[in-house]
Amino acid sequence: MLRKRSPLFICGAFIFVAWNVILIFVLMRRPTTQGSLDSPDELGNTGDRARGGQFGNIMNEVMLVANAFEAEIESQKKILLQIQSHWSVWENKGDVTAAKPKSQAEHSAPVVIPILVIACNRVTVKRCLDKLIEHRPSAELYPIIVSQDCGHVETSDVIASYGSHLTHIKQPDLSDIPVPPQHKKFQGYYKISRHYRWAFNQVFNTFSYSTVVVVEDDLEVAPDFFEYFRALHPILKSDPTLWCVSAWNDNGREGFVDPGKASLLYRTDFFPGLGWMFTKDLWAEIEPKWPASFWDDWMRHPDQRRDRSCIRPEISRTLTFGRKGVSLGQFYDKYLRFIKLNTEFVPFTKMDLSYLEKKQYDESFEKEVYGAPVVTVEDLQSGKLSGSGPFRVQYSSPDSFKTMARNLGVMDDLKSGVPRAGYRGVVSFLLRGKRVYLAPPAGWSQYDPSWS
């Protein structure tokens, strides 16, 4: 619908047109100086020197006119820009504001995405911070906030040594937390949950950021870590079926991912963590019910996830090097230390990522997975299958899933019925160079939380 033009714009446009008409009329009628082309006979009767002098006068006159004209055009250009600027302000005050494409908005006013590093008593946080600073393209767009719990002096000294490269904040409550007797050995998980809550409130409420990327102190980041989150930020903000973006693939071990597809991204129903981005709006939703402990498994519960998904990569953009912690190295020796960290810089911000939109993604996903031939674990292990796939291995119960996952070498645990890295119950991975989908039967509708 066309809008009524403001009086300011109409007046400005009229002045611009009128001024230029007057300018052209004046220049055309401008009197020439003595010795100009008004007297061709006199010019013909003079000597060579006179002709040269008069020609020089003519050229000087032409240059003066040209310079005056050029200066006037520059002046008019400035007037037009002022008119345009006032018109834009007027438009934005109107009842209807012109829609601005998301990509243009991102480009003209890039959002600041802080990196929150959760730290405690690991002096090896230096490895994490060194890589963040090495790969960070802009300190202004990606401020680093290190939130430290535990009061460990040596770790605090390491963090402080970075000076103005980061902001160091300290969780003030270091007291023990009353826990049920059966959870006495889990005191560390209670303190971690308390720390996360405090740190998130600092980022969103004290520093007033709208988005954050959370990194633990035992993570090393890939060269395109920042590029990855920058490109996916608009999608996270605009798609209500998403609630996080993760840099982690739980099954991202060497040999289980395609090294030629570093740009490949997936939707997943499993909350991956380990380098993840979420928004202030989500924090406002979950903060009032934040759990006393085991916050990551709590995030995987249907009451929190609410059928929303995360984005995760084929090849992880983070690598964990922290074997020792409150989990006592659970999964580390068998899985985590073998995770492949991406080394190829992928220009995600220049790519079309619209295929991640739920409707488009689901249609393609269904065709890809359920169009693949069904094979057995034995078929895959025999090495007799030809081609690169994809192939589908079908499970029908939690026990069959766990047995197949163990035999195929992928993580076999389920959280509220959701397999690690799974989407609609399907786990995608590479086995001996062949794409494999470990999937429920066609017609899958929902997860069963009792599958745990």
Q: Give the residue numbers annotated as catalytic, written as ranges.
A: 296
Q: From 194, 182, 223, select the one nearest 345 (Cα to Cα).
A: 223
* Side-chain-side CA neighbours of residue 193 (13 Å): 21
Q: From 309, 228, 327, select the one nearest 270 (Cα to Cα).
A: 309
User: Would you call 303 exposed, middle or buried from its count of C-beta atoms within 10 A (0-12, 13-18, 19+)?
Assistant: exposed
Amino acid occupying residue 402: K
Instruction: Please list, in sequence order, all residues whose beta carbon lies within 8 angstroms of the beta carbon of residue 16, skipping any fewer than 6 positions away.
Output: 76, 79, 80, 83
Do 111 and 140 touch, CB atoms closer than 8 A? no
239-251 burial string, b = 16+ CB within 10 Å, else e? beebbbbbbbbbb
* Rg of the chain (C-alpha set): 33
130-150 burial string, b = 16+ CB within 10 Å, else e? ebbeebbeeeeebbbbbbbbb
Do 92 and 6 touch, CB atoms closer than 8 A? no
Backbone angles phi, psi at 12, to 5 degrees: -60, -45
Instruction: Tokens for 22, please give them.
Output: 């007057």
Backbone angles phi, psi at 67, to 5 degrees: -65, -40
DSSP string, 10-72: HHHHHHHHHHHHHHHHHHHHPPPPTTSTT-HHHHHHS-HHHHHHHHHHHHHHHHHHHHHHHHH
Q: How far is CA 305 from CA 51, 278, 309, 405, in A?
A: 90, 13, 8, 24
Amino acid occupying residue 209: Y
Per DSSP, the three-state class of 344 is coil
Q: From 65, 53, 119, 72, select the one nearest 322 (Cα to Cα).
A: 119
- Residue 234 preceded by cis peptide, ω within 30: no
Residues 197, 175: Cα–Cα separation, whole Å: 15
